[in-house]
Chain A
Amino acid sequence: MDRLKLLGWQVLSVAILVLAWEAAVRWRLVDPLFVPAPSAILGVLRTTGGEALPRLGDTLLKTLLGYALAIGAGVPSGIVLGSRPTAHAVVMPYIVALYGVPKILVLPWIALIFGIGLSTAVLSAAVFALFPVVVLVAAGTRDVDPALVTVAASMGASRVQIARKVLLPAVLPSVLTAMRVAMVFALLGALIAEMLAGNRGMGFQMQRMALAFRAAELFAATVIVSVVSIAVVLFLEHLNRRLGRWR
């Protein structure tokens, strides 16, 4: 009952917000050329949605490829860095520094080398997602209690057994967190690359709609991308909890 009431309040507030927005446009408090009314957005949602789906698929494909690259490179690097204190002390400051540099700065250069299209967006997604993965997994690996390993080894566990039964479950939560966080970063990287140097995909399309003053379509596209990314993140969180229980 309580959760239902909460949900009711949330729906109600969003509804009031949308109605106020609609009223503001109807009464010309804002110019519909720039901010379309929710009803206008709803009107174009179907057509925009039809156009958007293949483009969104394009973007999601780039995201997934970049995501796979970032996870494939980032998780092993993170585990290595987390399990070797010297390497961690030497290399980690650089990783953290690179994490802090806005990745969009190097995007023009990537586009210059790889051209406008798939590989640039994939690499961009990978670059955006890589550093958080390395940092999160390294931190998670470092936090594994060394006593666990010592105890298992002293009780005669083999290296494979230690890796499977002790290290994997201990590192898994941080890997799962990294996998969830990386998805948003990869999507961000792919979309920014499409906006900056793309000829297709959702980011390119949205940038073009903005420059052509197609406000209603742009807002509809924004709604669609938001809903899809929220759905992806919620799905990954759900997966996280399921896998977390296995531990």
Chain B
Amino acid sequence: MRVWLWRSAVLVVALAVWEISARMLNPMLYVGPSRLPAALGRVLSTRDLPPLPGHLWLTLSEIAAAYAFAIAGGLWVGFLLGLRQSLGRVYEPLLATLYAVPSVIWYPSLMLFLGLGPASKIAFGFLLGFFPVTLAVLAGIRQVPAALVTVAVSMGARPFTVFRKVMLPAMASTLAGGLRTGLALSVVGVLVGELLGARAGLGYVINYAYGLMMTAEYAALVVLVAVAVLLLDGAAALVEQRVKTWTA
């Protein structure tokens, strides 16, 4: 309870400091929180900016597609490398090394190859989300106690039963964490792609507002997107928690 009080106090102080410093500085560059609601209203109503709902919908579809591909690809590669240990030992180090490369350097090539449309965003979101899912599957498989699998098999369990009753519970919590990170990174990938070069989507609208020096509108959009991203991640965190309590 006291902690919540302190947390709110920190938030209030931060907002106050932001507001006061914004008022003292150039209003073209610094936008205080008090100007955000009006700016958000203008974003939704103005004709200077592209209409938001369509762009929001496009961005959400790109994220959904990127994440779906990331899950499918990540699970497939993860289980392939994790269950066939000879393959895993050869290719897992290669994957881990690629993960050390700052991801954004792939984006210009994707943009060149797939163009400025949704495809390059989906591909980049997939690429970013793919790695945490794959690595989580690999880490999860390593957590499965080999003895339990042996026992289950020797007692006549079929492969699918072993998977469902022994492997899945043992790796579920790691897997859920990886899926959550994958979602966060797919979102980042799509947004980065839209900001670096697009003709539609939320990132494009943000760039547009910024390009016209509509700083208040830009700030309102950024806060809106940031809150949406946090809500999405919060929902993923709830699912992760549920999975953890289920397996614990």
Contacts and interface: CB of A to CB of B under 8 A. Distances in A.
Interface stretch (A65-73, A76-84, A137-145, A183-191): A183-191
Interface string A208-229: 0111010100110010011001
Contacts of A100: 184, 229-230, 233
A109 B219 contact: yes
Given A191-B104, A230-B100, A112 B226 contact: no
A206 B105 contact: yes
Interface string A167-203: 0000000000000000010011001100110000001
Interface string B182-199: 001001100110011100
B44 interface: no
Interface string A37-57: 000000000000000000000
Contact of B100 (A109, A184, A218): A184
**Chain A interface SS verdict (over half):** helix
Nearest to B102: A188
Nearest to A180: B100
Interface in B79-109: 89-91, 93-94, 97-98, 100-109
Given A90-B7, A105-B206, A112 B215 contact: yes
A206 B98 CA distance: 19
B100 A229 contact: yes
A229 B101 contact: yes
Interface stretch (A91-99, A151-159, A238-246): A91-99
Interface residues of B, number: 48
A216 to B, nearest CB: 11
A89 interface: yes
Q: Determine the interface band of chain A, counting residues with CB < 8 A from chain B.
A: 35 or more
Contact of B113 (A9, A14, A35, A225): A35
A161 interface: no
Interface in B187-221: 187-188, 191-192, 195-197, 206-207, 210, 213, 215, 218-219
B112 interface: yes
A187 B108 contact: no
B12 interface: no
Max chain A C-beta neighbours (<10 A), residue from B98, B187, B230: B230
Nearest to A225: B105
A10 B90 contact: yes
B113 A6 contact: no
Contacts of A107: 195
B38 interface: no
B65 interface: no
B108 A10 contact: no
Nearest to B11: A94
Nearest to A30: B113
A215 B7 contact: no
B10 A94 contact: yes
Contacts of B106: 222
Nearest to A105: B222
A203 B184 contact: no
A222 B107 CA distance: 10
Interface of B: 3, 6-7, 10-11, 14, 29, 89-91, 93-94, 97-98, 100-109, 111-113, 184, 187-188, 191-192, 195-197, 206-207, 210, 213, 215, 218-219, 222, 225-226, 229-230, 233
21 contacts: A10-B93, A13-B91, A14-B94, A86-B6, A89-B6, A90-B10, A94-B11, A102-B192, A104-B188, A109-B219, A109-B222, A184-B100, A184-B102, A192-B104, A192-B192, A206-B105, A211-B197, A213-B112, A215-B112, A226-B105, A234-B100
Interface of A: 6, 9-10, 13-14, 34-35, 86, 89-91, 93-94, 97, 100-102, 104-109, 112-113, 184, 187-188, 191-192, 195-196, 203, 206-207, 209-211, 213, 215, 218-219, 222, 225-226, 229-230, 233-234
